[in-house]
Chain A
Amino acid sequence: MTEPKKIKEICAQFKRIIDEPERAVQPAQGEKPAPVIGFLPTDVPEELIHASGAQPCGLVSYDGTWVSRADAHLQTWACSLSRCTLGMALAGKLDYLNGLIIPHICDTTRMVSGIWKQNRPYDFMEDYILPRQVHRPSAGGYLTGELNRLKKRLEEFTGRSVTDKDLQQSIRLYNGNRAMLRKLYQMHGRRPDLLSNLDVYSAIKSSMLIPKEQHNTMLGELLAALEQADREIPAVENGGRVKVVLTGKVWEPPVLMEILDQSGVVCVADDLCTGYRYIANDVAESGDPVAALADRQLKRPPSPCFVNRERDRLKYLVETVGESGAAGVIFLHLKFCETENYDYPLLRDALSAANIPNIRVEIEIGNVSQGQISTRIQAFVEMLGGGEIYGSQPAL
């Protein structure tokens, strides 16, 4: 098989996992099935779940058909992400789960947990109650305590006690996955002709769905093929492509990445929960592993969900644009996402003051006008001086 063909094939596998997560999750259970514990975005410590013998599974593949299924339980002015996930659960689409962990990152996640427990409880229902200030000393102690609480609950559920060694092993596995994904991300920035936006973001999201062991094998093969192709195939003239930073929560629906690809956008940095935020930093492999997990959480890139007086999101975004050499920023905002909506005006003004062109694209799962988004993004790309060779209408 030629290298480009192999690259295409593995990327198509990632895409299939996202398209049909229930199929991807079930065969992975093997003879003695490990319980599947789902989690909502973002920041859930999967290493703990893995070390307890369960299989973590991110609820990050959304079928917009089920959004309104939640209407009798959750107001329609909740974000479509929460409505869709709850709707899918109510429709029985997530019945492959044995458990669920909901991280408290906003008022909606804080409240949806109780609704879920009333209407579709799994055997294991837990909340991950994160500190929402991350810069003062008190945050570390509390978070370590919360992680130990969660660890104990997982141990009770799976019946397997988690030793430091177990947890360190899981941490190494996850660090390995993140390192490879970061490599892939860089490769995409350098060689978008070999690896599209959809390819790299599908790789990240699929790693939240299937066992990391399996994902690492796939990533290893993909990286080897890419490195060889990078050596053998000269880079295609990049005319018309523009580098952009994405900021927001999730890249939904996936067709959005196809629109970006067809519009000549190359995403070179982002802070998305199902993007670079997931792989940005690692967990220390020595010392108390639970404290190390807490430390990683507190050192993640700034997010609108957490107050961080030491690391300003505004400054961070402007710096990220500079470091990545991006020409502009695309705000990818979920309708009704409060945390982003509060930050937006000041972020937009800071970018504009730094002469960084930016655009806001509002998305709603189950209710997306592809044509409209496509037109807006193409206009933005043209403004940035790109898009000449991609000027024709994408065949969507």
Chain B
Amino acid sequence: MAASQPFKTAGLLKELMARYYEQGSRAREQGTPVVWVTAVSPVELVYAAGLFPYYPENFGALAAARKVADKISMSAEERGFFADLCGYARCGLGDAYAREHPVGKIVPPDLLFCCNTQCGSLQKWFETSAGLYRAPYFLLDAPLIENEPTGLIKNYFVEQLEEAINFFEVATKTPFSFDRLEEVLALSNEACRLWNEILDMAALKPAPFGFFDACFHMAPIVTWRGTKEAVMYYLALKDELENRLSKKIYAVQEERFKIYWDHIPVWPRLRWFSDLFAEHGALVAVSQYTHSWAYQFDLTRPLESLAENYSEGFSNRGFESRMQLKINLMKKYRVDGFALFSNRSCKPTAFGLYDKRNTISERTGLPGIVFEADMSDLRYFSEEQVRNKFKIFFEQLT
């Protein structure tokens, strides 16, 4: 990572994630159904129902970070899934067919629970997997909020949450406990609060923590959100960061610039990008991506509050609102420029970036670029092209 010294909490993270994966493989043996869930979905319901949530996206990110996503994808491509589908999906589908499992075997689902706020790719990936594994599939459908949130969409979402609870009750043969949901929501609130306080430390100049660090430390906010483990982890991380601040240990030595990044990292080149920015004294301070997990639930009206948090986040908003969020983050973190990642695997975050780049520069006066790559598949990455683009970008900063 960009940090000059390794984080002490890295060991804790490793331990926590190992425990998570172990639970996944054990869940079935212990009679706990494994539910496939998506990263931006109300996992709180799944934890409250006593089920084990498994994140196939996390599997994709892990394979991508270990630079084997392309290889695992090949098994899916040989079956006729096309190379232009989402890299995570090809990885997940590929592992179902593959004989070798370089990052461990993806845990098969007993149930699938997908929220399509992020994209329609997840909807299709999960649907296809439901067919492959012959498991029941629930789609929590989020109509796009083009302008302002509406009662129509919120009511539809709440009604579906009730349908989802019923879906889980059928699977567990146990009545759903709203008391338990309240506990889980409180734990989510606490973890999200800590996570966002940590992200905010990147606004300090110089900062002890940046986006690439956040990418490393985000696994618990995704997978353990709603549990004590996530709260414990972020307490420890925050503590370590405060300690680093007092010892003047910063993410980038001689930080000169702060940069906004959009959206997800190029996982197999995380280090490469991190070094590229550090060479120029630039800290990637913020991305909307890591800010996805900024939920705050009202425990007195859990379902409405879940609907607001999950259906009204940026991934379910239209052009103007998405752009405004980027601009707000740029202002809050006082960045000097922005880099927008046109991610081959992700149409919803990529489409519109060409126009947004121009409009953001007009409105903020900041220099910015759009570059082409893929979050997991290096076949869509041209090092020379990307380096040249960034060369011009860094020249604009000085």
Contact = CB atoms under 8 A, between A and B. Distances in A.
Interface of A: 72-75, 77-78, 104, 106-108, 110-115, 117-119, 127, 129-133, 136-139, 141-142, 145-146, 149, 304-305, 307, 309, 314, 335-336, 338-339, 341-346, 348
A171 to B, nearest CB: 23
B272 interface: no
Number of chain B interface residues as a range: 35 or more
Q: Which of B342, B351, B354, B372 has the most CB of A within 10 A?
A: B351
A307 B156 contact: no
B127 A307 contact: yes
Interface in B290-344: 318-320, 322, 342, 344
Q: SS class of chain B's interface: helix, strand, loop or mixed?
A: helix
Nearest to A136: B163
B116 interface: yes
Contact of A138 (B79, B80, B163): B163
B156 A141 contact: yes
Nearest to B161: A138
- State the 9 A-B residue pairs at the shortest beta-carbon distance, nearest first: A114-B319, A111-B351, A342-B124, A345-B80, A142-B156, A107-B347, A138-B159, A129-B143, A145-B152
A115 B347 CA distance: 13
B367 interface: no
B354 A339 contact: no
A77 B355 contact: no
A106 B120 contact: yes
Contacts of A131: 141, 143, 156
Given A141-B159, A344-B80, A345-B81, A338 B121 contact: yes
B327 to A, nearest CB: 15
A132 B137 contact: no
Interface in B245-270: none
Interface of B: 79-82, 84-86, 89, 116, 119-121, 123-125, 127-128, 131-132, 137, 139, 141, 143-144, 146, 150, 152-153, 155-156, 159-160, 163, 318-320, 322, 342, 344, 347-348, 350-352, 354-355, 359, 372
Contacts of B348: 107, 110-111
A348 B81 CA distance: 11
Given A72-B354, A345-B81, A117 B156 contact: no
Contacts of B153: 142
A339 B120 contact: yes
Contacts of A314: 131
Contact of A342 (B81, B139, B342): B81
B79 to A, nearest CB: 5
Contacts of A136: 160, 163
Given A142-B155, A344-B81, 6 more contacts: A74-B354, A107-B347, A114-B352, A133-B141, A341-B82, A343-B128
Given A138-B156, A309-B137, A346-B132, A132 B123 contact: yes
A136 B348 CA distance: 26
B148 to A, nearest CB: 13
A117 B318 CA distance: 11
Contacts of A129: 143-144, 146
A146 B131 contact: no
Given A75-B342, A132-B123, A114 B320 contact: yes
A220 to B, nearest CB: 39
Given A73-B355, A74-B351, A138-B159, A346 B128 contact: yes
A126 B331 CA distance: 31
A341 B351 contact: no
Contacts of B318: 113-114
Contacts of B89: 342
B59 to A, nearest CB: 18
A78 B347 contact: yes
A307 B79 CA distance: 22
A145 B143 CA distance: 12
Q: Which of A127, A336, A338 has the most CB of B within 10 A?
A: A338
Q: Which of A145, A146, A307 has the most CB of B within 10 A?
A: A307
B144 A107 contact: no
22 contacts: A74-B351, A78-B347, A107-B121, A107-B347, A107-B348, A111-B348, A114-B318, A115-B352, A118-B355, A118-B359, A129-B143, A138-B159, A141-B156, A142-B155, A142-B159, A149-B150, A149-B152, A314-B131, A339-B120, A341-B85, A342-B85, A346-B132
